[in-house]
């Protein structure tokens, strides 16, 4: 793959910073790098691979001559700048919800539907972090036994609400332990030593936006409009890495041993399933890992052809930045 002219849009955020770390770790071929953010972040200095870069304000004129824009600056900004990025001839891999459900824009997890990358018209959408963490370990099972129904319960880290939410969890934990009054500022409720329903808007059907995303995105990524999905999303006092309890029903019977063997060789998955030691996936151990950890594999006796499992995955990494960089690697390798 030739060296590319790359921009990171939203570089000062948690995902933006992770973009830089992953680009360096994977030795992504970069000819020039442009760091873009809002006007209030312009002028900040950021180091990358031994060089110091100055953050620039993102404007419609920022994208001329670029090959790739890795974007994580919020949906409104993505929608406003996307036409300018596409017009400039760059590929936009967008980590917001702005384009995920647009039928003309591919929604991609490289381990599942890399063939959709070639269908892009200048924009490829990165799925929701919870969707990615759920589907990477489920897809190998789906290919063999065809999943009919998924029930998910999520345990979502503060990182999903951004760097400021992570900082708020740390501050609240310290304040709680010394008896200080907790006053939430970033998240709607106390996050330290507490759990609460996911902090996205509740729709008229009673489901929050996060839950609805998991349902709709699964259908699109799997190319399976008939698949039934339901989710309950919860915010927990974990800094980084989401966990999910997953219950699935398949068309054909598949044993736990068969599933374990499938997952052991599946890309992007690591089996952590030691019943004797009661040792299973934990967000603490998923943090910083590229793979989704999967364990607690067992038969669900409440339905026919049903299985249960527990997964943990780094929300900032595979749930966001890594997935986007993997998309870009395939897109330009194929090109």
Band of pLDDT at residue 271, cut at 50, 70 and 90: very high
Cα gap 224→209, rounded to integer Å: 20
Give the residue among 310, 283, 282, 281 at the shortest CA–CA distance from 297: 310
Chain mean pLDDT for the chain: 96
Beta strands in 49-185 (DSSP E): 51-54, 56-57, 68-71, 91-94, 123-125, 147-156
- Kindly report the backbone phi and psi dihedral angles of residue 196, in degrees, each rounded to the nearest multiple of 5, phi listed first: -155, 160
Contacts of 13 (CB under 8 A, 6+ apart): 37, 72, 73, 162, 163
Band of pLDDT at residue 83, cut at 50, 70 and 90: very high
- Kindly report the backbone phi and psi dihedral angles of residue 145, in degrees, each rounded to the nearest multiple of 5, phi listed first: -120, -5
β 306-313/123-125 pair status: unpaired
Cα gap 116→122, rounded to integer Å: 13
Cβ count within 10 A of residue 167? 14
Q: Which CATH fold topology does 131-315 show?
A: Dihydrodipicolinate Reductase; domain 2 (3.30.360)
Residues marked as catalytic: 129, 242
Cα gap 94→33, rounded to integer Å: 17
196 pairs with which residues across the strands? 235
CATH superfamily name and code, 4-127+320-334:
NAD(P)-binding Rossmann-like Domain (3.40.50.720)
For the segment 57-84, the average pLDDT, to the nearest whole number, is 96
Residue 4, classed as helix, strand or coil, is strand
Helices (H) and strands (E) in the chain, counts: 8, 15
Count Cα neighbours of 205 within 13 Å in the Cβ-side half-sphere.
8
Q: Per mean pLDDT, which range of 39-43, 55-59, 240-244 is the poorest?
A: 39-43
On the question of pLDDT at 89 being above 80, the answer is yes
230-250 tens-digit pLDDT: 999 999 999 999 999 999 999
Give the residue among 220, 221, 223, 218 at the shortest CA–CA distance from 152: 218
pLDDT of the residue at 335: 65
> Using only C-alpha atoms, what is the Rg of the chain?
20
208-222 tens-digit pLDDT: 999 999 999 999 999
Percent of the chain scoring above 70 in pLDDT: 99
Where exactly are the structural domains of the chain?
4-127+320-334, 131-315
Give the residue among 314, 151, 296 at the shortest CA–CA distance from 233: 151
Cβ count within 10 A of residue 335? 11
On the question of pLDDT at 198 being above 80, the answer is yes
pTM recorded for the entire structure: 0.96
Contacts of 184 (CB under 8 A, 6+ apart): 168, 172, 190, 191
Would you list the DSSP string of 206-266? Answer: S-BHHHHHHHHHHHHHTT-TT-EEEEEEEE-S-SS-EEEEEEEEESS---HHHHHHHHHTS
Beta strands in the chain (DSSP E): 4-9, 30-37, 45-48, 51-54, 56-57, 68-71, 91-94, 123-125, 147-156, 196-197, 228-235, 242-250, 269-271, 292-299, 306-313
- The label of the residue with tokens 């949906």 reads 75
pLDDT of the residue at 210: 97
């Amino acid at each position: 793959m030739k060296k590319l002219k790359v921009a990171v849009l939203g570089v000062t955020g948690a995902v933006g910073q992770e973009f830089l770390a992953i680009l360096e770790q994977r030795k992504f071929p970069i000819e020039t790098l442009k760091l873009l953010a809002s006007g209030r972040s312009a002028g900040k200095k950021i180091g990358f691979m031994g060089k110091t870069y100055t953050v620039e304000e993102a404007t419609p004129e920022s994208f001329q001559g670029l090959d790739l824009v890795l974007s994580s600056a919020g949906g409104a900004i993505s929608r406003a700048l996307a036409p300018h990025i596409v017009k400039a001839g760059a590929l936009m891999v967008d980590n917001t919800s702005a384009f995920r459900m647009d039928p003309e824009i591919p929604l991609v997890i490289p381990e599942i539907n890399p063939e959709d990358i070639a269908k892009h018209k200048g924009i490829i959408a990165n799925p929701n972090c919870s969707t990615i963490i759920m589907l990477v370990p489920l897809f190998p099972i789906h290919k063999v036994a065809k999943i009919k129904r998924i029930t998910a319960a999520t345990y979502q880290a503060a990182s999903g609400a951004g760097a400021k939410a992570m900082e708020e969890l740390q501050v609240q934990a310290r304040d709680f332990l010394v008896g200080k009054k907790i006053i939430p500022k970033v998240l709607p409720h106390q996050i330290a030593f507490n759990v609460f329903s996911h902090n996205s808007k509740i729709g008229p059907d009673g489901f929050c936006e996060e839950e609805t995303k998991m349902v709709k995105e699964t259908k699109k990524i799997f190319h399976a409009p008939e698949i039934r999905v339901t989710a309950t999303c919860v915010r927990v006092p974990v800094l980084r890495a989401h966990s999910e309890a997953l219950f699935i029903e398949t068309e054909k019977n598949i044993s736990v041993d068969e599933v374990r063997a499938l997952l052991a060789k599946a890309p992007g998955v690591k089996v952590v399933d030691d019943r004797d030691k009661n040792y299973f996936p934990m967000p603490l151990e998923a943090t910083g890992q590229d793979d989704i950890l999967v364990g607690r594999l067992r038969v669900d006796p409440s339905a026919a052809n049903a299985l249960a499992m527990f997964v943990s995955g780094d929300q900032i990494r595979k749930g966001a930045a890594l997935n986007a960089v993997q998309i870009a690697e395939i897109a330009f390798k194929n090109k």
